Structure 1
Amino acid sequence: MKFIRIILGKLILLLNFVFRPSGVKRAPDAQQAADEKAKDLTLYQFEACPFCVKVRREMKRQSINVALKDAKNDEVARQELLEGGGRVKVPCLKITKHGEETWMYESSDIVAYLQKEFA
């Protein structure tokens, strides 16, 4: 079973690389504003998780640079996710506004949030 997961994970990453979306083009000041807003976001993810790939593809479409943390291989990130969000489940978007943290877990909810905030 582990072998199948490894193969499927590599296939997902390959397809994501081959068919990666193009990003939206913004004026320099608009892109700077989007980058500034994205500084308050952190995505906890596994590299080959299909739901994480879905979220990363939307980030690429929106041309935003969100900090990525690997909750599978980075023990510190895994612990942050557990303590902050309450469980180790990915993808998880940590949104920090005015010093207050919100943890969003579902990929569809994260994509909708990114579309609302950055489209």
Structure 2
Amino acid sequence: MKALRWIVGRIILILNAIFSPRGMQRDTLEQQAVDAAVANMQLYQFETCPFCVKVRRHAKRLNIPLVTRDAKVAPWDKELLEQGGKRKVPCLRIVENDQITWMYESNDIIAYLDKRFA
């Protein structure tokens, strides 16, 4: 079963690389504002998780430079479990006004990114 997941994961990554979406174009000041807003966000993910790929592709479409953290590696796995409450990906960590929000579910993350940056 592990071998099958590994193979399917690699196929997902290859297809993602081949059919990578184009990022939207913004003027320089708008992009700098987006970059500043995204500086307080991190996406906890597994590289080959289809739902994580879905979120990363959408972020690329919106030209959002999200920092990704591999939730399989220390210290990110521990941080996700202790602060986020569960080891589930994708998870977007958002820091706004000294408040930390942990957003799970790919569709919720995409809806949030659309509302904020589209």
Under a length normalisation based on structure 2, what TM-score does the superposition of the two structures give? Answer: 0.98
- Which SS does the other structure have where 1:89 is aligned? coil
Structure 2 residue 17 is matched with structure 1 residue 17: yes
**TM-superposed deviation, 1:40:** 1.2
Query: What is the alpha-carbon distance in structure 1 between the residues aligned to residue 46 and residue 113 of structure 2?
Result: 19
Secondary structure at 1:101 match in 2: strand
**Helix, strand or coil for the counterpart of 2:75?**
helix
Q: Deviations over 1:51-109 (max 9, x none)?
A: 0000000110010111110011x110001100111010000000100111000010000
Q: Which amino acid aligns with 1:38?
A: V
Shift of 1:6: 0.3
Report Cα offsets for 1:30-53 as digits up to 9, x if no partner: 000000010111000000000000
- The one-letter amino acid paired with 1:62 is L
The answer for the alignment partner of 1:49 in structure 2 is 49
Q: Which residue of 2 aligns with 1:89?
A: 88
Structure 2 residues without counterparts, runs of 5 or longer: none
TM-score, normalization: structure 1? 0.98
Give the match for residue 35 of structure 2.
35
2: distance between equivalents of 1:35 and 1:8? 33
Distance 2:67 2:8 in 1: 25
Give the fraction of aligned pairs with identical amino acids, expressed as a percent. 53
**Residue number in structure 2 paired with 1:101:** 100
Letter in 2 for 1:58: H
**Paired positions, count:** 118
